[in-house]
């Protein structure tokens, strides 16, 4: 190589980015004045995309590969600059390297408890947390909608927004799927898959792709956990009579280990009596008890735009007589999906026929 060739080679820029971090999503190539010379060598590695931005406008996008920057492989920038033929002078342009690799182990969690209605425990507060993975799917959209003019952009800069998407979707999922509290632990995989599909479009609006979302834990308050433990104990006990016999036999065995003294004798006698009572009780038939008295349906009324009640049917009949309840009044009871006119609810509508009309005035 001659001296002239060597000097010419020194004018050719080499544009590349080696990522030494684990969380950088976008990096702007830094050079003095942003000047790039004709024939500059651009190297885009796997899991990268290079985007040229000219005066704030996104121009050409380069996938992985090695490029010599000329008018032939910069069609958009050539059009913006008005280059009809080859060019020789340097030009100013910003080069952004966008990392398209998978960013894993991104944390999400509920800052505040989420209220949900459960058939077993009523209204329950739950918290949840887990992880998700994402990557940049559309580099120009991500630069335009999220990054802006930042010279470096990391996952921490967008995690708060992504966590908001996940928590919002998780809250909606609890309401839509109506999974009982006792079954939440067995539904983590299904909830994760459901949330991934539900939240993907929101990530897509920002040029991102949500790859997978994992629900690691859904916790409830201590008092609800205690109630669940009590139910587990009751299920483990099973037949209460057999359980009592087992505990009595266990007491006899312990007392036999120390036969001397009144304490041992008393323990044996007490255990024997307990065992006898338990055996006798287990042989007796359980007393027959009638079923609980059915509860009368109660309804709420909409009065002047506010909720009133609940009222049983006798009270509603009195309100029909007084004129407070008419066929157009909105009512609601458990099991109804929405408020309905009293005249459209069969049980309430029957009250209007059982109440006599007002007595006509005397002539």
Output the tens digit of pLDDT for each of the chain's 363 residues: 444 444 444 444 889 999 888 899 999 987 766 678 888 899 999 999 999 999 889 999 999 999 998 888 888 998 888 887 667 778 888 899 999 999 999 999 988 888 888 887 788 888 899 999 999 999 999 999 898 878 899 999 999 999 999 999 988 888 787 888 778 878 888 889 989 999 999 999 999 999 989 999 888 877 776 776 666 666 655 555 665 666 676 676 666 666 554 445 555 555 556 555 655 554 555 556 777 666 778 888 888 888 888 888 888 888 888 888 888 999 889 888 888 998 888 888 888 876 555 666 665
- What does the block give as tokens for 283? 């042989």
Round to whole Å and give the CA distance between 230 and 285: 26
Do 27 and 17 contact (CB within 8 A), yes or no? yes
Do 302 and 336 contact (CB within 8 A), yes or no? no
Round to whole Å and give the CA distance between 168 and 165: 5
The CATH fold assigned to 299-354 is Dna Ligase; domain 1 (3.30.1490)
What are the DSSP calls for 6-40, one per residue?
Answer: HHHHHTS-EE-----SSSEEEEEPP-GGGEE-TT-
Where along the chain do its domains lie? 3-99, 103-220, 299-354
Round to whole Å and give the CA distance between 283 and 246: 16
- CB neighbours of 149 closer than 8 A, spacing ≥ 6? none
Question: Which CATH code, of 3.10.150.10, 1.10.3720.10, 2.60.40.2550, 3.30.479.30, is assigned to 103-220?
Answer: 3.30.479.30
Do 53 and 77 contact (CB within 8 A), yes or no? no
CA atoms within 13 A on the CB side of 260: 0
């Amino acid at each position: 190589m001659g001296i002239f060739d060597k000097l010419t080679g020194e004018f050719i820029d080499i544009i590349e980015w080696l990522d030494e971090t684990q969380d950088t999503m976008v990096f702007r190539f830094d050079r003095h004045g942003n000047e790039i010379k004709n024939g500059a060598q651009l190297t885009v590695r796997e899991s990268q995309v290079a985007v040229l931005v000219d005066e704030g406008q996104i121009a050409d996008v380069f996938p992985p590969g090695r490029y010599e920057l000329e008018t032939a492989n910069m069609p958009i920038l050539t059009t913006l600059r008005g280059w009809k033929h080859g060019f020789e002078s340097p030009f100013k342009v910003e080069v952004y390297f966008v990392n398209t690799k998978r960013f894993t182990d991104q944390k999400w969690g509920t800052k505040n408890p989420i209220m949900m209605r459960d058939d077993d425990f009523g209204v329950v507060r739950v918290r949840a947390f887990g992880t998700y993975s994402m990557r940049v799917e559309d580099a120009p959209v991500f630069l335009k909608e999220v990054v802006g003019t930042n010279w470096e952009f990391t996952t921490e800069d967008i995690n708060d927004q992504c966590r908001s998407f996940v928590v919002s979707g998780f809250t909606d999922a609890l309401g839509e799927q109506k999974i009982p509290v006792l079954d939440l632990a067995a539904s983590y995989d299904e909830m994760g898959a459901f949330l991934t599909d539900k939240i993907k479009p929101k990530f897509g609006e920002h040029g991102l792709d949500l790859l997978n979302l994992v629900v690691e834990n859904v916790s409830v308050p201590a008092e609800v956990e205690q109630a669940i433990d009590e139910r587990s104990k009751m299920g483990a006990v099973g037949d209460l009579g057999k359980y009592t016999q087992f505990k009595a036999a266990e007491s006899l065995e312990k007392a036999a280990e120390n036969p001397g003294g009144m304490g041992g004798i008393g323990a044996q006698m007490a255990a024997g009596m307990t065992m006898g009572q338990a055996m006798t009780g287990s042989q007796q038939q359980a007393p027959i008890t009638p079923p609980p008295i059915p509860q009368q349906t109660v309804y709420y009324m909409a009065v002047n735009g506010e909720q009133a009640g609940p009222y049983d049917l006798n009270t509603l009949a009195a309100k029909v007589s007084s004129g407070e309840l008419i066929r157009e009044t909105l009512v609601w009871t458990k099991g109804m999906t929405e408020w309905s006119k009293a005249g459209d609810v069969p049980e309430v509508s029957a009250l209007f026929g059982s109440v006599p009309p007002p007595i006509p005035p005397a002539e």
